[in-house]
Amino acid sequence: LSALKPLALKNTFKKRLEPFYSVGEIYSFFEILVEKTDGLSRSDIIVNRIDLDPDVYEQAIKRLEAREPIQYIVGETIFYNLPFKTDKRALIPRPETEELVDWIVQENANTPLKILDIGTGSGCIAVSLARALKQAYISAIDVSNEALTLAHTNAIQNGVSIDFQHVDILKKDVDEFYDLVVSNPPYISYEELESMDETVTAFEPHLALFSQDPLAFYNRILQIFLKNTTVIYFEINNRFVSELTALLELKSCSFEFKSDVNNNVRFLKVWLTR
């Protein structure tokens, strides 16, 4: 195919991808891809002078037609203002999780804390906490070696040092002396799979999304850490708020649920009552 001007290529994107996405989504994919591939800004697109090679974009269009997430196609996303490599080895960092990180940062600045991130995935929580809480010492665990390799790359790329360990939290014993534990565990039940977007279910690791018993992670983490750890922060599935409340009421602890910007109860903080 011969060279195309940006607006002609934008039109190709629209024609090819309209069966799968809204026009707004398609234009946003287009802008992300021309920026990444040819360094074009929005005004470069509008001015419409630069020649682009459509063959270079064909692969991306095919992947988008197959409903692969744009973050895997460009291989990068921004989380808490930091760049993270993204690919099928780990879950794509979500905006809700930025709110969890921000909650922790707001409440724990300027203290030398020993922190553990359970189920670190891409490392987004551990790395952004390390950047924001300069005095913290951060460890992170995951059962997926692939995810840990990606998380390690992300730590290096962002210039932080994190102690990564391969641990199955449901099986193995871990050091239980932390000041702060954070976890965004797999919290989707398999019954929800049917109603989920294919972009998620066909590409993101099921090990990161689903659990036979989504409460198992909360139970286990509370069981291990509620003795010595000052505070535990979780991301949660709002379908399980009442179950989690029942579970917490059996323990001698205080807790607080928090909603995300979309008004879904999404976060939970648990701390010891002394």
Ligand X SMILES: C[S@@+](CC[C@H](N)C(=O)[O-])C[C@H]1O[C@@H](n2cnc3c(N)ncnc32)[C@H](O)[C@@H]1O
Nearer to ligand X, 97 or 139 (CB): 97
**Separation CA 63–CA 65 (nearest Å):** 5
Amino acid occupying residue 154: N
- Residue 190: partners with Cβ closer than 8 Å, 6 or more residues away: 210, 212
Nearer to ligand X, 52 or 231 (CB): 231
Q: How many CA atoms lie within 13 A of 205 on its CB side?
A: 21
**Separation CA 59–CA 145 (nearest Å):** 28
**Strand, helix or coil at 232?**
strand
The nearest distance, CB 24 to ligand X, in angstroms, is 25
Nearer to ligand X, 29 or 234 (CB): 234
The nearest distance, CB 188 to ligand X, in angstroms, is 8
Token digits for 251?
Answer: 């323990």
The nearest distance, CB 58 to ligand X, in angstroms, is 30
The nearest distance, CB 33 to ligand X, in angstroms, is 23
Nearer to ligand X, 17 or 116 (CB): 116
Place of tokens 């994919």: 29
Q: What H or E segment, with its residue span, contains residue 84?
A: strand 82-85
Nearer to ligand X, 44 or 176 (CB): 176
* Phi/psi-derived region of residue 35, left when phi > 0, alpha when psi is between -120 and 50, beta in every other case: alpha
The nearest distance, CB 237 to ligand X, in angstroms, is 10
The neighbouring-strand residues paired with 141 are 118, 165
- 55 class by beta-carbon count within 10 Å (0-12 exposed, 13-18 middle, 19+ buried): exposed
Nearer to ligand X, 26 or 91 (CB): 91
The nearest distance, CB 77 to ligand X, in angstroms, is 10
Nearer to ligand X, 40 or 237 (CB): 237
Closest CA to 235 of 162, 181, 171, 177: 181
Nearest-Å Rg of the Cα atoms of the chain is: 21
Q: Which residues bind ligand X (CB under 6 A)?
A: 90-91, 93, 97, 119-122, 124-125, 141-144, 147, 167-170, 184-186, 207-208
The nearest distance, CB 167 to ligand X, in angstroms, is 6
